Amino acid sequence: MIVYFSGTGNTYHAARTVAAVTGDELYRIGFDDVPTSDSVIGIFSPVYFYGLPADVIECLKGIKASGAEYVYLFLTCGGSDGMAAKSASKYLGRLDAVYDAMMPDNYIKAYDVPSQDRIAKLLCSADFEIAGAAEKIKSLARGDFRCHAGGEMLYLALRPLYKPLGRQTSCFETTDSCIGCGECVANCPSHAILMRCGKPVWIKQYCSGCLGCINRCPERAIQCGVSTKKRGRYIHPDYKE
């Protein structure tokens, strides 16, 4: 099985590309009932604050990896992986292989999205990395195959900020452009948003912080403070289909 978490589609793209090669079934964290075990277990996750998203950690706690033939992790990141693989190994009790791909950074709370040109180049090189990983995964290769390892010190410095900065929902607000389409509610893996009187309301204090709501809003009607007003939005082409 392939279990994945994705806010803006990068990790979904990696998971579906590998699944097309291996024939494994896809399970989306937050939406599907993830089986507790399988003979081949692939976890696909973005890197958040140099570690794993909160919803991924919760899911890993429920997976029994000890009896599996092959357990691997695939990370997508905007720069480097930090301690995400170590964290997954801790929760799963083992990891037979680790892969990664660098993809466009979707953390628009802090940075603007890359230029269209840069996005095209990143997606092209990521596809190369994903295709190489897929062949290795198919042959159940064992080892650390990451190209973007590093950032362990950044984990120590920045991970403590994940909850107060990355996961707080209080910064989100909708503008008058909101048409009440409910896309943000339907796509939230943390189920942190509800429609009230035709408008989205963040009902949980903390979510995983995937930024799917703000990046995927078709009307650009969600903001997180003043900084995101001037910034672009990012969605992988697979999520635009």
Ligand X SMILES: Cc1cc2nc3c(=O)[nH]c(=O)nc-3n(C[C@H](O)[C@H](O)[C@H](O)COP(=O)(O)O)c2cc1C
**Spatial separation of the C-alpha atoms in residues 41 and 137, rounded to whole Å:** 11
When the beta carbons of 30 and 46 are compared against ligand X, the nearer one is: 46
Give the nearest distance from C-beta 77 to ligand X in angstroms: 3
Give the nearest distance from C-beta 87 to ligand X in angstroms: 12
When the beta carbons of 47 and 217 are compared against ligand X, the nearer one is: 47
CA angle 96-99-100, nearest 5°?
A: 155
When the beta carbons of 54 and 68 are compared against ligand X, the nearer one is: 54
The alpha helices in the chain, defined as continuous H runs, are 10-22, 54-61, 84-92, 116-138, 152-158, 183-187, 212-216, 237-240
Give the nearest distance from C-beta 30 to ligand X in angstroms: 12
When the beta carbons of 68 and 104 are compared against ligand X, the nearer one is: 104
Smallest CA-to-CA distance from 199 within 215, 179, 223 is with: 179
Smallest CA-to-CA distance from 109 within 207, 224, 203 is with: 224
Which residue matches tokens 């809003």?
217
Give the nearest distance from C-beta 176 to ligand X in angstroms: 26
Please give the structure tokens belonging to residue 50: 């140099």
**Spatial separation of the C-alpha atoms in residues 150 and 80, rounded to whole Å:** 6
When the beta carbons of 46 and 200 are compared against ligand X, the nearer one is: 46
Which residues lie closer than 8 Å to 39 by C-beta, 6 or more apart? 68, 69, 70
List residues binding ligand X (CB under 6 A): 6-12, 46-50, 76-80, 82, 103-107, 166, 209-211, 236
Give the nearest distance from C-beta 139 to ligand X in angstroms: 25
